[in-house]
Amino acid sequence: MTRGSLALAGPDETAALGRSLAARLRVGDVVTLAGPLGAGKTTLARGLLAGLGLDEDAPSPSFPIVIAYEELRVPVWHVDLYRIDDPEEAEELGLDDALVDTALVIEWAERLGPGRWPDALALSIETGPEGGRRLTWEAGPSWERRWPPAP
Ligand SMILES: Nc1ncnc2c1ncn2[C@@H]1O[C@H](COP(=O)(O)OP(=O)(O)OP(=O)(O)O)[C@@H](O)[C@H]1O
């Protein structure tokens, strides 16, 4: 497990970080995205999906819970577990089965308790004092040569 953080000075840097992640993403990956309301999670997820070839602004998955993008360079399920109260409900979504041929980008993964995916790339965005953002991460073993992106 590696940990670290970097500064994101503005929305463009948040989106660019999402695109760098897209370049490193593989089938079977789990990326969790945490942070308070307005932190920049959607900005990062849109950068990631754009980097994988999505040519429109990705909608938020809060209502459908899962939006599946099967046609991207790496197929992705964008998942929002905010409305999930019971971990068993989340099990019914079939997330682990999906990992056979997709990557998962999950917001509110903390609903499932810590350590659910030990190899995940766990990203967390916080607001900084000057209006920018700070991204902190914990990266599982398979991310060792892939994360963080070179500055
Ligand atoms: N690094 C950054 N510095 C300053 N502002 C940023 C940065 N990244 C994103 N933002 C801005 O923060 C605002 C909120 O971003 P976004 O909608 O992506 O947040 P969110 O975490 O998805 O929010 P919510 O939980 O409400 O959906 C947007 O105006 C976005 O442009």
Q: What is the ipTM of this complex?
A: 0.96
Q: For ligand 1, atom 12, name the residue with the nearest CA.
A: 40
CA 88 to ligand 1 centroid distance, Å: 30
Q: What is the arithmetic mean of pLDDT over 35-62?
A: 91
Predicted TM-score (pTM) of this structure: 0.95
Residues with Cβ within 8 Å of residue 90, at least 6 apart in sequence: 81, 84, 111, 112
* pLDDT higher than 80, residue 63: no
| 38 ligand 1 Cβ < 6 A | yes
Record the tokens describing residue 42, joined without a space.
Answer: 């959607």
Ligand 1 atom closest to residue 46's alpha carbon, by position in its atom list: 18
pLDDT over 90 at 147, yes or no: yes
Site to substitute for ligand 1 among 8, 14, 49, 135, most atoms within 8 A of C-beta? 14
Domain 2-143 in CATH 3.40.50.150: no
Is it the case that residue 64 has pLDDT exceeding 80? no
Q: Where are the alpha helices (DSSP H) in the chain?
A: 11-24, 41-51, 87-91, 95-98
Q: How far apart are CA 107 and CA 8, in angstroms?
A: 19
Mean pLDDT of 129-149: 93
Q: What is the pLDDT of residues 71-97, one digit of tens each?
A: 999 999 999 999 888 888 888 999 999
How high is the pLDDT of residue 76?
98
User: Which whole number is the average pLDDT over 4-29?
Assistant: 97
The answer to whether the CB of 91 falls within 8 A of the CB of 99 is: no
Whether pLDDT at 62 is above 80: no
Give the Cα separation of 30 and 117 in Å (integer). Answer: 7
Q: Side by side, which strands form the sheet with 133-139?
A: 2-8, 133-139, 121-127, 30-34, 103-107, 76-80, 66-69
Q: What is the pLDDT of residue 129?
A: 76
81-137 per-position pLDDT tens digit = 998 888 888 889 999 999 999 999 999 998 888 889 999 999 999 998 788 999 999
Q: Give me ligand 1 centre to Cα 100, in Å.
A: 31
Q: Which residue puts its alpha carbon closest to atom 8 of ligand 1?
A: 11
Domain definitions of the chain by residue range: 2-143
Other beta carbons less than 10 A from residue 137's beta carbon: 19
